[in-house]
Amino acid sequence: MNDKAASPRSGIDQAAILLLTLGEQEAAEVLKHMSARDVQRVGSAMAALDGVTREEVSGVLEHFATSVESQTSLGVGTDEYLRKVMVSALGDDRAASVMERILGGRSSRGLEAMKWMDSRAVAEMMRNEHPQIVAIVLAYLDADHAAVVLAQLPERARPDILMRIATLDGIQPSALDELDQVMEKQFAGNASSKASVFGGPKVSADIINNLELSQETVIMEQICQIDEALGAKIQSLIFTFDDLTAIDDRGMQELLRQVPGDRLLLALKACEQELKDKVFKNMSQRAAEMMKDDMESKGPVRVSEVEAAQKEILAIAKRLSDAGTISIGGKGGEAYV
């Protein structure tokens, strides 16, 4: 029996299979709708794919056809499309040079380029900057990218940076442009800066959601000691694994389709029984029984492994929520009337 056929592919792997099936031009059309971090993830998955069976390809295409029926198209700017395709085809440096000639330098590029940089490189650049500058930069990055950068900054600085992000309610375009130019002088950029309003408690909460649980706990304790009201506001927006209980049955079924079975098995080892019941309820009887048997036979696992699996599933749930595919009630979710 083919092991790869037996083990469900992750959502990223499924996306990679779909793009490889579509072909170069069609894949480029899809990439223009994706963030820098997602392009990097899917690109890595495409490069690492191995032993994909005909049945897997058929399953991915069938799932995509079913899902896309309820989706609408998203429009993006021509410049952004060109940049993403160029970077995908040529790499960062060559793409930057080509885009400079195409666009004639009419767009700022400093901050946007940081979305494509390795987290260690961003952290090194930010290490000696003023905390307010660091806060603006992290607020501009995708939450998962910002979390990795934050984790590499000095521990004593992290609560202050997150509090500054939480209290950001915007930045003057002229100030943002000046910061963008400063960043651009340090490295070659490749995309336009669009946002002038960002930050707030939700951005801090999103970054904290992507930290390791041990880091999350320490940082939240420190923030609450400094500003209890702000800490409570951020805490109310942080997702926990048990908050997934609030997802309706249809949403839970969609989430389970995106989560690899081995990660779900680990995540369920340490969660409330209510959530376990919710998960099992939305699986087929046979799949639920197999999952329960596997949990009993797996034996003890490291807490860090369980927490990592739960964080991965929370990240998938958040992406689905942001896309409007599922609705997450409770913490961090929008109220419905």
The number of distinct structural domains making up the chain is: 3
* CA–CA gap between residue 122 and residue 159 (Å, rounded): 18
Is position 333 within any domain?
no
Q: Are residues 258 and 294 in the same domain?
A: yes
Total length of the chain: 337
Of all residues in the chain, what percent carry a pLDDT higher than 90?
A: 9
Residue 129 has pLDDT above 70, yes or no: yes
Dihedral angle sign, alpha carbons of residues 1, 7, 305, 287: negative
Q: Are residues 29 and 139 in the same domain?
A: no
Is position 200 within any domain?
yes
Q: Are residues 212 and 249 in the same domain?
A: no
Q: Are residues 142 and 193 in the same domain?
A: yes
CATH number at residue 269: 1.10.220.30
Is position 43 within any domain?
yes
pTM above 0.95, yes or no: no
* CA–CA gap between residue 328 and residue 241 (Å, rounded): 11
Q: Are residues 122 and 178 in the same domain?
A: yes
* CA–CA gap between residue 117 and residue 92 (Å, rounded): 9
> What mean pLDDT, rounded, does the chain reach?
76
* CA–CA gap between residue 48 and residue 43 (Å, rounded): 9
For 95-101, the CB contacts below 8 A with 24+ separation are 95/190, 96/188, 96/189, 96/190, 97/188, 99/190
pLDDT attached to residue 12 = 80
CA-angle at 231, arms to 268 and 215, nearest 5°: 50
Residue 147 has pLDDT above 50, yes or no: yes
Q: Decide: helix, strand or coil at residue 57.
A: helix
Question: Could you tell me if 190 and 113 are in contact, meaning their C-beta atoms sit under 8 angstroms apart?
Answer: yes
Residue 33 CA, distance from chain mean position: 15
Is position 261 within any domain?
yes
pLDDT digits (tens, 9 = 90+) for 274-295: 999 999 999 999 988 998 888 8
Averaged over 154-168, what is the pLDDT?
Answer: 90
Residue 54 has pLDDT above 50, yes or no: yes
Of 39, 68, 97, the domain-final residue: 68
Token pair 């376990």 is at which residue?
A: 276
Averaged over 206-211, what is the pLDDT?
Answer: 84
- For 22-31, 40-49, 182-191, which range has the lowest pLDDT when averaged over its residues? 182-191
Q: Are residues 32 and 52 in the same domain?
A: yes
Cα 257 to Cα 66, 75, 91: the distances in Å are: 12, 27, 33
Which amino acid, one-letter code, is at 141? L
pLDDT attached to residue 104 = 42
Boundaries of domain holding 313:
241-322
Averaged over 290-301, what is the pLDDT?
Answer: 86
pLDDT attached to residue 328 = 74
Residue 28 has pLDDT above 50, yes or no: yes
Residue 154 has pLDDT above 50, yes or no: yes
Q: Are residues 141 and 33 in the same domain?
A: no
Q: Are residues 251 and 150 in the same domain?
A: no
284-317: buried (b, 16+ CB within 10 Å) or exposed (e) per residue? eeeebeebeeeeeeeeeeeeeebbebbbbbbebb
Q: Are residues 278 and 175 in the same domain?
A: no
Question: Could you tell me if 311 and 210 are in contact, meaning their C-beta atoms sit under 8 angstroms apart?
Answer: yes
Is position 77 within any domain?
no
Token pair 């793409």 is at which residue?
A: 95
Q: Which of 45-49, 86-90, 97-101 has the highest mean pLDDT?
A: 45-49
* CA–CA gap between residue 116 and residue 206 (Å, rounded): 19
pLDDT digits (tens, 9 = 90+) for 135-145: 888 888 888 88
Of 194, 215, 235, the domain-final residue: 235
Query: Of 211, 238, 210, nearest to 224 (Cα)?
Result: 238
